[in-house]
Amino acid sequence: MPALMRMALEGLAWCTSLGLLTWVASLARQDASLADRVWPALIGGAGLLYALRWPAADARGLCMAALGFAWALRLGIFITLRNRGHGEDRRYREMRGRNAPHFGLKSLYLVFGLQALLAWIVSAPLLAGIAGGRAWNWVDDAGMSVAVSGIVFEAIGDAQLSRFKSDPAHAGQVMDRGLWRFTRHPNYFGEACVWWGLWFMAMAGAGWTAAWSVVSPALMTLLLIKVSGVGLLEENIGERRPAYHDYIARTNAFVPGPPRRSRR
């Protein structure tokens, strides 16, 4: 237990340090949305730290760290390319206005400090799985399948939306094709699958002693549905895109399912 606690504190130190550096950069650039770009690195970096620092990381631990790194690398590159040249994201501009004056100082705890803490919590299965010592079993296979499927599902959803938005003919239209035909947020559903899959692998390695790490997928799912994901993005989208009301009526918000017949 002391070794596990020490490793957890090292992960917290990583998240806090990187969050602090990003906050300093955000002050220089007047862009708090840098937080989005660094979010994957906070979690993926903590996973790599656990794998490198644990005295005897086994195949499960290394596999989980690799999955976390793959998720972080793909998402980090995607967000960076998507946001490049667009300035501060609308959500952070609105937050800046609500918390004026001195938003720069307030963002240290409202954005970057909170984000570092949340990222550390989300990284919990990566630590629990690396610390587990049981032999690889069928639960690992199932968990890895869910995590890999989530990474692929999320990547496909992001790519489809980017391609749709890049076509000027689609300006003002609602994306309801590909994976977006079955769920309004395939990227968020895929991301939730990643963390539930990694939690399954942690449970496979440590049994019920790793049950505490369920806080990671539970927190991530809550954030994706109620806080920074579906709830925030759809808060006023119907006002900006009236056609979105019809999309909501026929398409599941999160878990994929067959489209319903439009009410109109």
Domains of the chain: which residue ranges?
2-250
The confidence score (pLDDT) of residue 23 equals 98
Residue 264: half-sphere exposure toward Cβ, Cα within 13 Å? 8
Averaged pLDDT for residues 137-148: 97
- DSSP class of residue 113? I
**Percentage of the chain exceeding pLDDT 70:** 97
Q: Kindly report, residue by residue over 199-213, the tens digit of the pLDDT.
A: 999 999 999 989 999
Judge contact between 198 and 104, C-beta under 8 A.
Answer: no
The confidence score (pLDDT) of residue 109 equals 96
The confidence score (pLDDT) of residue 171 equals 86
**Percentage of the chain exceeding pLDDT 90:** 77
Averaged pLDDT for residues 7-15: 96
**Does 172 score more than 60 pLDDT?**
yes
Q: Kindly report, residue by residue over 19-76, the tens digit of the pLDDT.
A: 999 999 999 999 999 999 999 999 999 999 999 998 887 899 999 999 999 999 999 9
**Rounded Cα distance, 154 and 138, in Å:** 24
- Report the amino acid identity of residue 183: T
- Report the amino acid identity of residue 39: W
Name the nearest CA neighbour of 150 among 41, 46, 44, 75. 75
Q: How confident is the model at residue 81 (pLDDT cuts 50, 70, 90)?
A: very high
